[in-house]
Structure 1
Amino acid sequence: MASPASARQPSTKSLFAASFVGTSIEWYDYYIFGTAAALAFGTLFFPQASSAAGTLAAFATFAVGFVARPLGGAIIGHFGDRIGRKSMLILTLVLTGGATFAIGLLPTYAAIGIGAPLLLVVLRIVQGFGVGGEWGGAILIATEHASPRRRAVYGSFAQFGVPIGVLTSNLAFLAVSGLSDEDFLSYGWRIPFLLSVLLVILGVVVRRRLQDAPEFERVKQQNATSRVPFTELARRQPRNLTLASLASIAAPAVGYTVIVYMLTYGTTVVGFERSTLLTLILASTVVWIGTIIASAALSDRFGSKRMYILGAVTAVIWPVPMFALVNTGDWGAALVAFVVAAVVQGLMAGAQGGLFTEIFDVRYRYSGISIAYQLGGMIGGALTPIVATTLFETYQSSTAIALYVSALCLITLLSLFGIRKIAAPEEESAGRKTPTPSTG
């Protein structure tokens, strides 16, 4: 007779929909903020600053969301480990989507003065807090239903949300990029933010149909959930928590260099049209998605850690030639630059979900992978556009930016060699007690 847990086993399609649709919506919300920060927020919310200072202020507002993400990962991860994955995934959608919609309604500096950027920062914090708990839950709702030999493929479901979020956010801004500068700054930038409410409704409907995985349900039924997951995580697996955080730096460092900083650098320094850059980045996301699929399949065959290392190696190498290609001012060369950057990110993304599920114990897994992913994102994603802008203002050269990004990726590469997997979950089902790691 089937157990209650197995009777509720969702189909692969429903897991894919809940994991992929939700993260796509979350990252759409997140990336439209980054795109708007590069194209409009400096003028609208920081008009008294110089062009460079206004861009830095807009990117700093963008970075505030990253600061909130580890906090969101810790708090939402705490309740995800104690109560369940499903309820937290619905909460993250409401938080992020609600904040995004509200940003689309914000008055600008010209209307209410200093209150406008302050409100923008508050909503960005709420948005970042919600995103902080999204990725970990979306990964686990899929990987914890998968067999160990299919965890990377199931973990890749959520990873599709990142390039799809880039794709849809760029499509949204591309749709309004044909407006005059006056119309774009007046109302055009608001449209992508307001449309997000429709996507959030769709995501909530899909996720309400889910159930938590049997692996986690067993922990709840045995009253074995951790009372304070972060404390237990920090005590039992500090090594993996630290190294996984460092391993999470490279992908956002490369990604946000392309999808955020390049929109400013490519238009103001190299001379590309805004719509041209958006189109090229959009085209590269197709390769990004294909690489995630290939990397996930290869990870289940050859090991997630090996594929992640391969991606990190390419991430170290690519920034210098990437900027060299963009600096030619030729759209074909820039497309090659962005396509290879998409391959770099896809290699790591396809392996990451499976790897991170395997290195944390189920009792505090939501907290572990959320905090690690968001800390890495804060270093690689929040700081990169700000540092890149500052480096260019200082040296008037892209070489310093490329070397900075390569150095961040090198940190990720070195950290991967120290990450240790915990015992496979099939040991428990075979009647053997799974040892709890003491050092990670």
Structure 2
Amino acid sequence: MAPSPTSTGPSKKGIFAASFVGTSIEWYDYYIFGTAAALVFGSLFFPEFSSVAGTLASLATFAVGFIARPLGAAIIGHFGDRIGRKSMLVLTLLLTGGSTFLIGVLPTYAAIGVGAPLLLVTLRLVQGFGVGGEWGGAILIATEHASPRRRAVYGSFAQFGVPVGVLTSNLAFLAVSGMSNDAFMSYGWRIPFLLSALLVVVGFLVRSRLHDAPEFERMKEAQSVSKAPVSELFRREPRKLLMASLASIAPPAVGFTVIVYMLTYGTKVVGFDRSTLLTLILLSTLVWIGTIVVSAVLSDRFGSKKIYVIGTLTAVVWPIPMFALVDTKSTGLALLAFIGAAIVQGIMAGAQGGLFTEIFDVRIRYSGISIAYQLGGMIGGAVTPLVLTALFDAYNSSTVIACYVAGLSLVSFVGILGLRGGAAVQEELPVDAAAEAAG
């Protein structure tokens, strides 16, 4: 007989801390790389290139991390489905945090030549590999402790980590952006990377106290763990994996357009001050967090799929007015543009965790949601800043690049419409409602 979750399971606060704190640290690490790629890496690691080519090379290094993410999702997802969620979450934290700290001590091109960008790319690959398995585990450690009627709310715990990662990474760069340009380019940009070591210690302490959910433990006790989760996923659920991957494109497409590309576009094209843009994006993340809460509550009430459909529709509509508002060079209108983007992302984020948990069977769930999320992220996030930079250089038009983002979001809208819900999974693998009461 399965152990009682009321006596062995972690509290709701513990689940929230493990899911939220670790994910916040992971995304802090990831976003400071994106910010540095837009602001400093081009001149420090690719100085032989022209200004545009250097920016493209820097953003390409940012994109390299996304290439490693599906691989990390598959490998870490495999062991997450076979061994457990907790151990993999500790591993992802150490991989991402360790590589981020080492980026902060890297010598530049001026010091060691071509070795500098090669080391940067290598550490970026390690960082991306770790992030590849992070989101799925952080979602499941929360949703698998929840009753089916509360999965979106519990799934939102991990989703808070994305805007909080943006918030803290922007705060870190904002704190050093007041330095003189020479000081910032010399050592100031390194400080946010070095601070990640302290954050990893906090995350490790929180996650080391985790327990896997009763749902997963019962499967292990019944010896029904999949021997090859990824293979089983592709064999049993190829259509579901494809639709979930397409549905995952819009959030990173909108997010990285604002967080990464807009730092380059807003400073070099529109003429905003670097610290002004960072402040505006920072303020918009507060709206992002609030929208996640509302979206998660509505998802549990009306259905995660319905809310996610609404989110993808807003993602299709918003890019054109967003760029038009930024192009006015008005600080207030630019803030409105970013707040709109935050609402768009928050709607999708609040629904996504619960939705993805429901659609995949527990035997292949870590692999399924991780691979789908990371494949969507690779399409929507990896190449978007690169493509937008190249498109603007070719057409000198913000409308063209806005249409590209809208087009990616339209793909997600089609994907979510083709994705069937997971009611059958909930009935087959019920979660004891007492687990939630224990929190």
Query: TM-score, normalization: structure 2?
Result: 0.97
Deviation (angstroms), 1:110: 0.1
Which residue is equivalent to 1:436?
none
Which residue is equivalent to 1:37?
37
Q: Closer, same or farther in 2 for the Cα pair 1:378/1:430, shift >3 Å?
A: closer
Deviation (angstroms), 1:424: 3.9
Q: More displaced, 6-15 or 264-273?
A: 6-15
Task: Classify the secondary structure of the residue corresponding to 2:383.
Answer: helix
Task: Classify the secondary structure of the residue corresponding to 1:425.
Answer: helix
Which residue is equivalent to 1:391?
391
2:312 is the alignment partner of 1:312: yes
CA distance in 2: counterparts of 1:427 and 1:366, whole angstroms: 17
Encode CA deviations 1:181-221: one digit per residue, 9 max, x unaligned. Answer: 11100000000000000000000100111100011111111
CA distance in 1: counterparts of 2:79 and 2:7, whole angstroms: 25
Which residue is equivalent to 1:213?
213
- Asked if the contact 1:5–1:217 (Cα under 8 Å) also holds between the matched residues in 2, the reply is no
Residue identity in the other structure for 1:36: A
Q: Closer, same or farther in 2 for the Cα pair 1:363/1:430, shift >3 Å?
A: closer
Q: More displaced, 259-268 or 419-428?
A: 419-428
Which residue is equivalent to 2:76?
76
- Asked if the contact 2:146–2:431 (Cα under 8 Å) also holds between the matched residues in 1, the reply is no
Which residue is equivalent to 2:191?
191
Which residue is equivalent to 2:436?
none
Which residue is equivalent to 2:333?
333
CA distance in 1: counterparts of 2:427 and 2:242, whole angstroms: 26
Residue identity in the other structure for 1:341: A
Which residue is equivalent to 1:169?
169
Residue identity in the other structure for 1:91: L
Which residue is equivalent to 1:201?
201
Encode CA deviations 1:120-154: one digit per residue, 9 max, x unaligned. Answer: 00000000000000000000000000000000000
Which residue is equivalent to 1:58?
58
Which residue is equivalent to 1:403?
403
Encode CA deviations 1:344-386: one digit per residue, 9 max, x unaligned. Answer: 0000000000000000000010000000000000100011000
Which residue is equivalent to 1:351?
351
Encode CA deviations 1:69-117: one digit per residue, 9 max, x unaligned. Answer: 0000000000000000000000000000000000000000000000000
CA distance in 1: counterparts of 2:22 and 2:3, whole angstroms: 28
CA distance in 1: counterparts of 2:165 and 2:425, whole angstroms: 32
Which residue is equivalent to 1:381?
381
Fraction of identical pairs, as percent? 74
Which residue is equivalent to 1:286?
286
- Asked if the contact 1:29–1:100 (Cα under 8 Å) also holds between the matched residues in 2, the reply is yes
- Asked if the contact 2:153–2:296 (Cα under 8 Å) also holds between the matched residues in 1, the reply is yes
Deviation (angstroms), 1:9: 1.2
CA distance in 2: counterparts of 1:157 and 1:243, whole angstroms: 24
- Asked if the contact 2:361–2:425 (Cα under 8 Å) also holds between the matched residues in 1, the reply is no
Q: Closer, same or farther in 2 for the Cα pair 1:2/1:50, shift >3 Å?
A: closer
Task: Please show how residues 151-170 of structure 1 align to structure 2 within 5 Å.
Answer: 151-170=151-170
CA distance in 1: counterparts of 2:237 and 2:140, whole angstroms: 18
Which residue is equivalent to 2:10?
10
| Structure 1: gaps (5+ residues) | 432-440
Task: Classify the secondary structure of the residue corresponding to 1:341.
Answer: helix
Task: Please show how residues 226-265 of structure 1 align to structure 2 within 5 Å.
Answer: 226-265=226-265
Encode CA deviations 1:20-59: one digit per residue, 9 max, x unaligned. Answer: 0000000000000000000000000000000000000000
CA distance in 1: counterparts of 2:172 and 2:62, whole angstroms: 19
Deviation (angstroms), 1:429: 4.9
Deviation (angstroms), 1:427: 4.1
Which residue is equivalent to 1:425?
426
- Asked if the contact 1:36–1:189 (Cα under 8 Å) also holds between the matched residues in 2, the reply is yes
Deviation (angstroms), 1:420: 1.3
CA distance in 2: counterparts of 1:166 and 1:405, whole angstroms: 20
- Number of residue pairs matched by the alignment: 431
| Structure 2: gaps (5+ residues) | 433-439
Q: Closer, same or farther in 2 for the Cα pair 1:400/1:424, shift >3 Å?
A: same
Encode CA deviations 1:300-331: one digit per residue, 9 max, x unaligned. Answer: 00000000000000000000000000000000
CA distance in 2: counterparts of 1:191 and 1:268, whole angstroms: 24
Encode CA deviations 1:137-183: one digit per residue, 9 max, x unaligned. Answer: 00000000000000000000000000000000000000000011111
CA distance in 2: counterparts of 1:246 and 1:415, whole angstroms: 5
Task: Please show how residues 80-99 of structure 1 align to structure 2 within 5 Å.
Answer: 80-99=80-99
Residue identity in the other structure for 1:276: T
- Asked if the contact 1:6–1:214 (Cα under 8 Å) also holds between the matched residues in 2, the reply is no
Residue identity in the other structure for 2:148: P
Task: Classify the secondary structure of the residue corresponding to 2:40.
Answer: helix
CA distance in 2: counterparts of 1:139 and 1:424, whole angstroms: 17
- Asked if the contact 1:148–1:424 (Cα under 8 Å) also holds between the matched residues in 2, the reply is no
CA distance in 1: counterparts of 2:381 and 2:75, whole angstroms: 21
Deviation (angstroms), 1:3: 2.3
CA distance in 2: counterparts of 1:54 and 1:182, whole angstroms: 19
CA distance in 2: counterparts of 1:5 and 1:231, whole angstroms: 31
Encode CA deviations 1:263-298: one digit per residue, 9 max, x unaligned. Answer: 000000000000000000000000000000000000
Deviation (angstroms), 1:421: 2.3
CA distance in 2: counterparts of 1:387 and 1:2, whole angstroms: 51
CA distance in 1: counterparts of 2:353 and 2:363, whole angstroms: 17
Which residue is equivalent to 2:271?
271
Deviation (angstroms), 1:426: 4.1
Task: Classify the secondary structure of the residue corresponding to 2:320.
Answer: helix
Q: Closer, same or farther in 2 for the Cα pair 1:428/1:109, shift >3 Å?
A: closer
Residue identity in the other structure for 2:396: Q
Residue identity in the other structure for 2:229: P
Deviation (angstroms), 1:257: 0.3
Deviation (angstroms), 1:387: 0.1
Task: Classify the secondary structure of the residue corresponding to 1:209.
Answer: coil
Q: Closer, same or farther in 2 for the Cα pair 1:111/1:144, shift >3 Å?
A: same
CA distance in 2: counterparts of 1:407 and 1:2, whole angstroms: 48
- Asked if the contact 2:26–2:165 (Cα under 8 Å) also holds between the matched residues in 1, the reply is yes
